[in-house]
Amino acid sequence: MDMIIRIADKTLREKSKVGASSLSFKEKIDIAKQLDSLKVDIIETSEIINGKKDILYLHTISSIVKNSIISCPVGISEKEVEVAYDAIKTAVKPRLNILVPVSTVQMEYLCHKKPDKMLDAVVSVTKYASSVCKDIEVSFVDSTRAEKEFLYKAVKVAVENGAKTVTLCDSAGIMLPGEFEKYILDIYEKVPELKNVVLSVECSDEMNMGTASAIASVNVGARQIKVATGVLNCPTLKSVLNVFRVKKNVLDIETSMNMAVLDNVAERISLIAEGGFSRFGGSTDESEKSYSEDVKFSADDDMHTIGKAIFDLGYELSDEEIKDIYDDFLKIAAKKAVGLKELEAIVASTAMQVTPTFKIKSYVINSGNVITPTANIELVRNDEVLRGISIGDGSIDAAFRAIEQIIGHHYELDDFQIQSVTRGREAMGESLVKLRSEGKLYSGKGTSTDIVEASINAYINAINKIYYEEEF
């Protein structure tokens, strides 16, 4: 029976490192989609470095990838393990990849740890990680330059404490294929526990031997190979899979990948990784298409058309937000034509759903034909109750002014719409608020049988989007 060899693609991980050319959010998502369509076994993401931005990207990838394992790298820190797993736990197949420097130089200068302390860290972090996530990989960085006796102990304790995959890394690319085979055989001999888990290899292509060394490792027990696209000194996805395709019978190996789409996927990822695709956006040229109030969009309109319409309406949204809006647009367009106001309602409802900075605790509105309308509103921020009281030209105006008093800032109200969603005395009302901050539009939508409440919710929703973006 042919051996099953897993492929772990680390393009996203490598391209996010300091010094590498950066990828946009859309490009990261596009690469993940392409790899998933190829049915690559493991997609390695970048580490969580930029807080909420990286977490949002990991949440998104976890929700769209259906075939591949999503592997998030972490350091030897229980806190990193906790944050990373929380970001990918909704994935169909989540994995944590613990990166452990094991050469003497890297241990001392990167981790400031002596060998015995590093072993303790491997034990504690691997044990903790395996308690929160079923699939744990431990990658021994620069392992070909590690002290052998120390490496044997490190591999042994990693397996004993829950690692399901162990990766040996020739990070400096110092070994020839034959040397790498002997190196692996030696570790198997000294650490018999290694036979109980999947052995993975990560070979540098520094001497143009990375692919050859990776393939050679298969002959002596490796069952997972790390690849990338558009990354220097790394075996490429296409080069490794082409060897599998041509020498399948000789090597007695099998993969789960959709080889029929390999060439197209590899080419597209290469273009994205090397900056061949520009970010999605719209032109501000006045000759570009403008839209009348009665324009209608249908399910036949593609994402670029809808994205262009949204841009022309004045919104500057990220590519993942455009995709989410388009998905919701298609659900409505499958039943009827969609006008501009409905499209804006979708934008308000879908784009940039964020963790709210402000939440409504209570509101009291006093209004009548013989008194000046007043609003008394309480909002909660970080468990602190904030109160604002204001008068206005009407109930809604008073409410908006009270909210402005609380946040201490006035945002330009670019548009305000109220419409009925259902009919009857208990009809649902929908409010759409558009605020402008530093030239950009932020929209919020609120729905309630009380139109004042709907308007307050819409206003707070828009405010929360502004605050969320300003945090970055």
Q: Read off the pTM.
A: 0.61
H-only helix segments in 334-450? 340-350, 395-407
Q: Which of 282, 316, 350 is a domain's end point?
A: 350
pLDDT for residue 426? 52
- Contacting residues for 407 by C-beta, under 8 A, at least 6 apart: 358, 463
Task: Give the whole-angstrom CA distance, residue 402 versus residue 307.
Answer: 35
Nearest one of 8, 13, 7 to 273, comparing CA atoms? 13
Q: Report CA 82 to chain centroid distance, whole Å.
A: 16
Q: Which of 273, 308, 339 is a domain's end point?
A: 273
- Contacting residues for 285 by C-beta, under 8 A, at least 6 apart: none
H/E stretch holding 366 reads: strand 359-366
Q: Which of 350, 368, 394 is a domain's end point?
A: 350
- Contacting residues for 126 by C-beta, under 8 A, at least 6 apart: 98, 136, 138, 157, 158, 161, 162, 163
**Inside any domain, residue 282:** no
The reply to whether 269 and 213 lie within a common domain is: yes
User: Do the Cβ atoms of 299 and 330 come closer than 8 Å?
Assistant: yes
Q: How many CA atoms lie within 13 A of 422 on its CB side?
A: 9
Task: Give the whole-angstrom CA distance, residue 384 versus residue 368.
Answer: 32
Structure tokens at 384: 């602190």
User: Do the Cβ atoms of 228 and 14 come closer than 8 Å?
Assistant: yes
Residue 381 CB-density burial (10 A; 0-12 exposed, 13-18 middle, 19+ buried): middle
The reply to whether 367 and 444 lie within a common domain is: yes
Q: Which residues pair with 168 in a beta bridge?
A: 140, 201
Residue 405 CB-density burial (10 A; 0-12 exposed, 13-18 middle, 19+ buried): middle
**Inside any domain, residue 91:** yes
The reply to whether 183 and 110 lie within a common domain is: yes
Task: Give the whole-angstrom CA distance, residue 463 versus residue 318.
Answer: 18
Nearest one of 97, 105, 103 to 8, comparing CA atoms? 97
Give me the amino acid identity at 464. Answer: N
The reply to whether 160 and 43 lie within a common domain is: yes
The reply to whether 311 and 248 lie within a common domain is: no
- Contacting residues for 457 by C-beta, under 8 A, at least 6 apart: 360, 431, 444, 445, 446, 447, 448
Structure tokens at 301: 């309109």
Structure tokens at 381: 């921020």
Task: Give the whole-angstrom CA distance, residue 102 versus residue 67.
Answer: 32
The reply to whether 342 and 364 lie within a common domain is: no
Coil vs helix vs strand at 175: coil
What range defines the domain where residue 305 resides?
A: 296-350
User: Do the Cβ atoms of 14 and 234 come closer than 8 Å?
Assistant: yes
**Inside any domain, residue 215:** yes
Sign of CA dihedral 174, 177, 178, 183: positive
Q: How many structural domains are present in the chain?
A: 3
302: left (phi over 0), alpha (psi -120 to 50) or beta: beta
H-only helix segments in 65-102? 78-88
Structure tokens at 148: 């052998």
The reply to whether 215 and 98 lie within a common domain is: yes
pLDDT for residue 285? 35
pLDDT for residue 290? 46
The reply to whether 345 and 367 lie within a common domain is: no
Q: Which residues pair with 446 in a beta bridge?
A: 431
pLDDT for residue 414? 83
The reply to whether 108 and 252 lie within a common domain is: yes
**Strand 412-420 vs strand 429-437: parallel, antiparallel, or unpaired?**
antiparallel
For the chain, how are helix, strand and coil distributed in percent, rounded to 5? 45, 20, 35
pLDDT tens per residue across all 472 residues of the chain = 578 999 999 999 988 874 445 677 778 888 999 999 999 999 999 999 877 778 888 988 998 899 999 999 999 999 999 999 999 999 999 999 999 999 988 888 778 889 999 999 999 999 999 999 999 999 999 999 999 999 999 999 999 999 999 999 999 999 999 999 999 999 999 999 999 999 999 999 989 999 999 999 999 999 999 999 888 889 999 999 999 888 888 888 888 888 888 888 888 888 887 754 333 333 333 333 444 556 788 888 888 888 888 877 766 677 778 888 888 888 888 888 888 777 877 776 666 556 678 989 999 999 988 899 999 999 999 889 999 999 998 999 999 999 999 999 988 888 888 877 555 555 567 888 989 887 788 888 887 778 899 899 999 989 988 887 776 5
Task: Give the whole-angstrom CA distance, residue 271 versus residue 276.
Answer: 5
pLDDT for residue 18? 46
pLDDT for residue 456? 94
User: Do the Cβ atoms of 98 and 136 come closer than 8 Å?
Assistant: yes
The reply to whether 404 and 317 lie within a common domain is: no
